[in-house]
């Protein structure tokens, strides 16, 4: 009897371990159709027939659970007059939308000209369906938007895989529980109990991961970097702005290089071909005119020499 219990518990544990390797496109039902009859055959002498109605409907349940699950997060970098005030406003916004503040940090930093200005970072979570509303309200209270990024991660496949693994492990747990209830010897109970604990640990891990996915998809994270207006102002020495002068000089250099590059392109692609096309006809015409003038000059000199002879 003990050997049969150990064999059956190993079969159930094998099914549970195979469930940990299942993925989208893999049919766990096929595994149960081939392995479960053998396990049930051994268990018949202890617990009788097992209700397998859940097995027949497993494929349909998997299809019905195919709901798209997407984790959407965003990050912003904004400029405001008072970072401290903005942190309070963003915290209140998160609370009003049904979210919460994950972390916030307000500190002081030093600009290039030695001026100390406040700066802040805050991360909030809001319901995913209010993400666009939250971003719009945060940007409406900012004087300038330096950076904005919205990202999405589709976790439907991972979540569906976890659902399938959880169902298979829960079936293995039921089978092991039934076996342990029919066992009488202490050694048999301990063997099956150890297998049952392993399966239950895997179930708790999968449930925890599924809960994390559900919460991440339900609540979007928004990370905001808040800078004071003074931190992004150009460096000034009196009324002189060296940064502005350098910027204009660099722009002038770029414009000059652009003009020279344009001229070179025109010379190579337009002027030189036109010159080459016109060069040979003009040269031929010039030689023909030169020869014609030379002949005319010779005729005039010949006529003049004849007149002198006469």
Give 2-65+156-210's CATH code, choosing from 1.10.1200, 3.40.50, 1.10.3470, 1.20.1260.
1.20.1260
Half-sphere exposure of 26 (CA within 13 A, CB side): 18
Please tell me which residue, 245 or 251, carries the higher pLDDT value: 251
Phi, psi torsion values for 145, nearest 5 degrees: -105, 110
- List the end-to-end C-alpha distance of the chain, in Å, as a whole number: 156
Cα–Cα distances (Å) from 199 to 38, 119, 148, in that order, read: 20, 50, 45
Q: Is 79 within 8 Å of 230 (Cβ atoms)?
A: no
Residues across the chain: 310
pLDDT at 163 over 80: yes
pLDDT digits (tens, 9 = 90+) for 76-120: 999 888 888 999 999 999 999 999 999 999 988 876 666 778 889
Cα dihedral sign, 21-25-31-32: positive
Q: What is the pLDDT of residue 24?
A: 33
Give the three-state DSSP class for 167: helix
Residue 157 corresponds to which tokens in the numbers above? 């496949």
Give 70-155+220-232's CATH code, choosing from 3.30.70, 3.40.50, 1.50.40, 3.30.700.
3.30.70
Neighbours of 284 (CB within 10 A): 10
Structure confidence at residue 281 as a pLDDT band (50, 70, 90): confident
pLDDT digits (tens, 9 = 90+) for 38-65: 233 333 333 333 343 343 344 444 444 4
What is the average per-residue pLDDT within 152-169?
Answer: 91
Please tell me which residue, 245 or 266, carries the higher pLDDT value: 266
Alpha-carbon span 77 to 184, nearest angstrom: 67
pTM: 0.51
Helix (H) or strand (E) holding 75: strand 70-80
């Amino acid at each position: 009897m003990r050997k049969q219990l150990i064999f059956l518990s190993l079969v159930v544990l094998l099914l549970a371990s195979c469930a940990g390797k299942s993925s989208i496109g893999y049919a766990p039902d096929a595994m149960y159709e081939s392995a479960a009859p053998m396990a049930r055959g051994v268990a018949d002498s202890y617990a009788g027939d097992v209700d397998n109605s859940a097995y027949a409907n497993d494929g349909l349940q998997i299809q019905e659970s195919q709901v798209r699950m997407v984790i959407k997060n965003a990050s912003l970098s904004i400029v405001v007059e008072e970072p401290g005030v903005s942190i309070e406003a963003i915290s209140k916004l998160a609370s009003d939308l049904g979210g919460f503040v994950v972390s916030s940090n307000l500190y002081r930093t030093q600009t290039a000209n030695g001026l100390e200005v406040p700066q802040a970072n805050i991360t909030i979570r809001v319901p995913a369906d209010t993400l666009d509303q939250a971003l719009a309200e945060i940007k409406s209270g900012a004087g300038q938007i330096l950076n904005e990024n919205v990202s999405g991660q589709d976790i439907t496949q991972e979540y569906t895989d976890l659902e399938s693994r959880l169902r298979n492990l829960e079936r293995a747990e039921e089978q092991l529980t039934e076996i342990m209830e029919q066992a009488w010897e202490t050694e048999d109970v301990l063997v099956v109990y150890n297998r049952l604990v392993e399966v239950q640990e895997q179930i708790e891990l999968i449930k925890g991961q599924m809960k994390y996915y559900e919460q991440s998809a339900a609540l979007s994270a928004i990370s905001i970097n808040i800078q004071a207006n003074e931190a992004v102002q150009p460096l000034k020495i009196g009324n002189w702005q060296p940064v502005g002068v350098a910027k204009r000089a660099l722009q002038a250099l770029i414009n000059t290089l652009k003009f020279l590059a344009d001229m070179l392109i025109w010379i190579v692609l337009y002027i030189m071909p036109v010159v080459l096309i016109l060069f040979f006809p003009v040269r031929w015409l010039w030689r023909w005119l030169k020869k014609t003038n030379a002949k005319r000059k010779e005729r005039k000199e010949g006529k003049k020499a004849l007149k002198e002879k006469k």
